[in-house]
Amino acid sequence: MAYHRRLGLRLWQLERRVFCEHGTAKARTPVLGGVYYVVLITRSMSMASRKSLVCMMLLLLLASSCGDKSATSSTSPPSSTSPTTVPATAGVVWPAADGSVPYADPVEAAAGFATEFIGFTEPLVGEFQRGDSRSGEVEIRPTATGPVTTVLLRQVANDDSWWVLGAVTDAISPTAPARDSIVKSPVLLQGSSTAFEGTVDVAVRSRSTARPLAEGFVTGGSMGEVGPFDSTLEFANSATPDGAIVFSTSSMEDGRVWEATVVAVRFS
């Protein structure tokens, strides 16, 4: 009898050891040895002793569940969330970076940019002229016979919205700052132009509808003759990391914005 008791106890101990080390996936619950041991040992015990032993065995069986729980927790796959796609808007000057809703129509984007950012007054807005599958341009005129300012647009986000990259006009050709370059105060202004009395207005703007960070002018050629300009302009800190340098001329009759070149920049 003593031999069978030792055998049952040893069998239960071995089963529990394997169970706790490998979990339920690789071993059976250590019940067989325990039951075998209990059946043999309780034959020589009183009823009270049998009850105590059964309670002890139940507690041991509950404790053996630690292997199953640890194995389950260690193999649980880590939770993950899908990354948020952020529009790649580097080099964009419009719409404003203050929560404005992007434009679904490129013509509306060009019109909003011309009036709210450059400062045109009731301009004539042309049709959208497509470049490639995701870019194009829209011509803006102050009057029916006025000069053309071409607004450059592109779909830069992961949807069908339209964003303005800048604007160009034949009369104003800046060489500094370069498009999408990093600038700091004072900003270097170089290039060539022709305008009434040679004056080209300059505004440093953040990518917003707020007032310009600075306003000034450069002097190039006049009366149709193109001449160089070279100057600097100090400006205040920007609330947005990107913005633009706006070069524009004014009407000789009423001072309205006549044409413009807009260069996207980033602030250091």
Give domain status of residue 69, yes or no: yes
Give domain status of residue 90, yes or no: no
Same domain, yes or no, for 46 and 124? no
Same domain, yes or no, for 70 and 118? no
> What tokens were used for 150?
């071409």
Same domain, yes or no, for 111 and 194? yes
Spell out the residues 6+ positions from residue 83 whose beta carbon is closer than 8 angstroms to its own: none
SS3 sequence, 165-205? EEEEECCEEEEECCCCEEECCCEEEEEEEEEHHHEEEEEEE
Checking if the pLDDT of 14 tops 60, the result is no
- The residue among 110 and 74 whose pLDDT is bigger is 110
- To the nearest 10 degrees (0 to 180), the angle between helices 32-41 and 2-22 is 160
Give domain status of residue 137, yes or no: yes
pLDDT tens figures, 169-181: 999 999 999 999 9
Q: Which long-range contacts (CB under 8 A, 24 or more apart) does 26-35 make?
A: 29/61, 29/64, 30/61, 30/64, 31/61, 33/8, 33/9, 34/8, 34/60, 34/61
Spell out the residues 6+ positions from residue 198 whose beta carbon is closer than 8 angstroms to its own: 219, 220, 221, 222, 227
Checking if the pLDDT of 206 tops 80, the result is yes
Q: Could you say which DSSP state residue 8 is in?
A: H
Same domain, yes or no, for 60 and 147? no
Q: Which of 74, 90, 123 is the last residue of a domain?
A: 74
Query: Percent of the chain at pLDDT above 90?
Result: 59
How high is the pLDDT of residue 98?
A: 77
Domain holding 250: CATH number? 2.60.40.2550
- 77-82 mean pLDDT: 39
Give domain status of residue 88, yes or no: no
Listed range (15-24, 90-99, 130-139, 200-209) with the worst mean pLDDT: 15-24
Same domain, yes or no, for 171 and 260? yes
Checking if the pLDDT of 100 tops 90, the result is no
Give domain status of residue 173, yes or no: yes
How high is the pLDDT of residue 89?
A: 59
Same domain, yes or no, for 257 and 153? yes
Same domain, yes or no, for 69 and 131? no
C-alpha 10/C-alpha 94 separation (Å) is: 79
Buried b (16+ CB within 10 A) or exposed e, 151-166: bbbbbbbeeebbbbbb
Checking if the pLDDT of 233 tops 90, the result is yes
Residue range of the domain that includes 261:
106-267
* Total structural domains within the chain: 2
Give domain status of residue 101, yes or no: no
Same domain, yes or no, for 195 and 118? yes
Give domain status of residue 86, yes or no: no
Mean pLDDT of the chain: 79
Same domain, yes or no, for 142 and 16? no
pTM score, whole prediction: 0.67
Give domain status of residue 64, yes or no: yes
Same domain, yes or no, for 65 and 181? no
Same domain, yes or no, for 67 and 146? no
Same domain, yes or no, for 123 and 204? yes
Helix (H) or strand (E) holding 21: helix 2-22
